Amino acid sequence: MISYSEYLQVAESAARIAGQYQKSRFASTLNIEMKGDKNLVTEVDKESERLIVEHLLSHFPGHNIIAEEGQYLQSGSNCRWIIDPLDGTTNYAHGYPWFCVSIALERQGDLVAGVIYNPVYDELFTATKGGGAYLNGNSLSVSTQAPLKNSLLGTGFPYDCATDPANNFSSFIAFQKSARGIRRAGAAALDLAYVAAGRLDGFWELKLKAWDVAAGVLMVREAGGMLTTFDGSFYDIFNDKIVASNGLIHDEMINMLSSVDYVTLDP
Ligand code: IPD
Ligand code: CA
Ligand code: CA
């Protein structure tokens, strides 16, 4: 049986291949298409996905794949790779250097390996089930910061926030008043890696997809953090509401999210 760390090594090299490619194309002229009103996709997203899938399948032919830009393979395998080839596309397309590659492996429905790679900082976040979380090989743990009023949080807004009232605006205002600060950096996978690394104390967001969160969820878990939905109940990566924290501020975050209606009309 292949060990989790053997899977991880292959995921790491796939992330580095795609990350180096992204860095080499950064701030160059890009072919950009619209997936929705605000949602972009560039040729670099698509080519990154192709490079990652090619690398993974060259080591593990027959594995299943779900990837944001459309690669989908479903066979009899009990292993499934969940891939966001470029998280932070809006940043990337605008020449704002904040983006990453995110790759996770599920085996028998369990998240067992995850990699998030920021090629600009050359920071490789990794985790395996039961094996801990690491940044460039150094062990990670969540912060010990509490209470909420002393905490730094991350969040984001869905692409359809101008048209769907489930837009996170009211929660954002409430947390901005009660926490020390909020960052909307534009790459959810890095937000989760930052919670695992203790650089953010908490994170919440609506309508993320499995590829945005899969690797980061394993990382937060392995770094000793807590993950739930907005009402404090069990979270899985196909749920569209996520709260991740150092554990110490989790109840305060859940209380805040339940006291505020996250579905708002424009304030
Ligand atoms: C997006 C980013 C962003 C989050 C969006 C995601 P993409 O992913 O993670 O931070 O707020 O909801 O869709 O489109 O850049 O891969
Ligand atoms: Ca994403
Ligand atoms: Ca993406």
Q: Which of 139, 165, 196 is the last residue of a domain?
A: 139
Based on the domain organization, do 17 and 124 belong to the same domain? yes
Residues within 6 Å of ligand 1 by CB: 84, 87-90, 156-158, 186-188, 208, 212
Based on the domain organization, do 253 and 217 belong to the same domain? yes
Return the pLDDT at 267.
47
| Among the bound ligands, the one closest to the CA of 68 | 3
Angle at Cα 257 formed by Cα 160 and Cα 266, nearest 5°? Answer: 40
Q: Find residue 41's DSSP bridge partners.
A: 33
Distance 211 CA to ligand 2 centre (A): 7
Based on the domain organization, do 135 and 42 belong to the same domain? yes
Local confidence pLDDT in tens for the 267 residues of the chain: 899 999 999 999 999 999 999 999 998 888 888 888 888 899 999 999 999 999 999 999 999 999 999 988 888 899 999 999 999 999 999 999 999 999 999 999 999 999 999 999 999 999 999 999 999 999 999 999 999 999 999 999 988 888 888 889 999 999 999 999 999 999 999 999 999 999 999 999 999 999 999 999 999 999 999 999 999 999 999 999 999 999 999 999 999 999 887 666 554
Counting the structural domains of the chain, the total is 2
Residue 267 included in any domain? no
Indicate the pTM of the whole model: 0.96
Residue 266 included in any domain? no
Q: What is the DSSP string of 211-252?
A: HHHHHHHHHHHHTT-EEE-TTS----TT-SEEEEE-STTHHH
Based on the domain organization, do 165 and 228 belong to the same domain? yes
Based on the domain organization, do 76 and 125 belong to the same domain? yes
CATH number of domain containing 199 = 3.40.190.80
Host domain of residue 129: 4-139
